[in-house]
Amino acid sequence: MGAFRSDLLAGQVAFVTGGATGIGNGIAHVLGRHGARIAIASRKVENLERAAAEFDAAGIECFYDTCDIREPEEVERVVAGVLERFGSLDILVNNAAGNFPAPMRKISYNGFRAVVGIDLLGTYNVSKAVFEAWMKDHGGNVVNISAPFEGMGVSLQSHVAAAKAGVDSLTRTCAVEWGPLGIRVNAIAPGEIAQTEGVARFEEAVGTRAEGSNPLGFAGATDDIGNVVLFLVSEASRFVSGQVFCVDGASGVDAFKLRVEPPTEPTDESS
Ligand code: NAP
């Protein structure tokens, strides 16, 4: 059983970019299970069709369209399609992203541009289109899916880390500029999420399995991200905006990566 009422988002519409696969798909299912109507968009129509059939089977109303979020005209067309189908657009989750782990010197100019183009400019394109077409007049909630790299150098991820730093910055600026219009903007930085493309590609590149390499000792599930999105788009977080939340089993704050057993007896040597 979830922590929230199943009709929490009844009457609301949520647009999740990249919502046909991985974390985005998990987020869309959590929002749909709590009453939202769902819109998803990405490039591969076969993934969109498969995902739409699954939403249908789960009793979740879904709109989908193909779109490359690097292209503002395509984004505007999809946003207009969502509004035509559902009549509102209350929640935006900027989840779509590209990634291929490689050392910076091996990344081509095109490859670096592609990742920044999808992760950062794509987030800007979709946010702006949704703002102009709906949220500036009606308010809403935006959640950007980032990565837990803030303040760090990140081997094999120079393009993603640079782009996500921009996403975090955009999150704070949009929260400040759009707050007076009733729009909250937050970000989630997922740690290792099991059975996702992101983790599979990284494990292949480094040749080891990452599973559970955090203090909690297990990989997160897509629902773990979906549930935090749900909190962030609900009234329970109505005073929360402009924040980046790491959802990573404490791996980002784990300085020494030691797994120390707690002592069985108190060891207070001062007494
Ligand atoms: P994924 O399954 O590969 O999802 C990425 C989605 O984005 C796909 O549905 C893809 O669909 C879509 N997409 C890519 N380029 C696009 C474009 N130009 N236009 C429109 N859609 C595009 O990856 P994931 O692992 O679930 O990652 C989802 C998000 O979580 C990303 O923002 C990622 O950076 C973040 N994240 C993931 C992890 C993890 O553990 N997996 C950790 C930290 C952060 P098409 O290819 O069909 O376009």
Determine the residue of 92, 100, 193 to mutate for testing ligand 1's pocket, defined as the one with the most ligand atoms within 8 A of the Cβ atom: 193
Which pLDDT belongs to residue 102?
Answer: 97
Q: Is 246 in the pocket of ligand 1 (CB under 6 A)?
A: no
Q: What is the pTM of this model?
A: 0.96
Say if ligand 1 is within 6 A of residue 145 CB. yes
21 lines ligand 1 (CB under 6 A): yes
Query: What is the structure's pLDDT at 265?
Result: 74
pLDDT reported for residue 202: 83
CA 208 to chain centroid: 25
Strands (E), the chain: 13-17, 37-42, 62-66, 91-94, 140-145, 183-190, 244-247
Hey, what domains does the chain have and what are their CATH numbers? Answer: 13-249 (3.40.50.720)
Residue 23 neighbours by CB under 8 Å, 6+ apart: 95, 145, 190, 193, 196, 198, 222, 225
Q: Are 183 and 171 in contact, with CB atoms under 8 Å apart? A: no
The kind and range of the H/E element at 166 are helix 158-178
pLDDT tens digits in sequence order for the chain, 271 residues long:
578 999 999 999 999 999 999 999 999 999 999 999 999 999 999 999 999 999 999 999 999 999 999 999 999 999 999 999 999 999 999 999 999 999 999 999 999 999 999 999 999 999 999 999 999 999 999 999 999 999 999 999 999 999 999 999 999 999 999 999 999 999 999 999 998 988 888 888 888 776 778 999 999 999 999 999 999 999 999 999 999 999 999 999 999 988 877 667 766 666 5
Which pLDDT score is estimated for 263? 62
Separation of CA 91 and ligand 1 centre (Å): 18
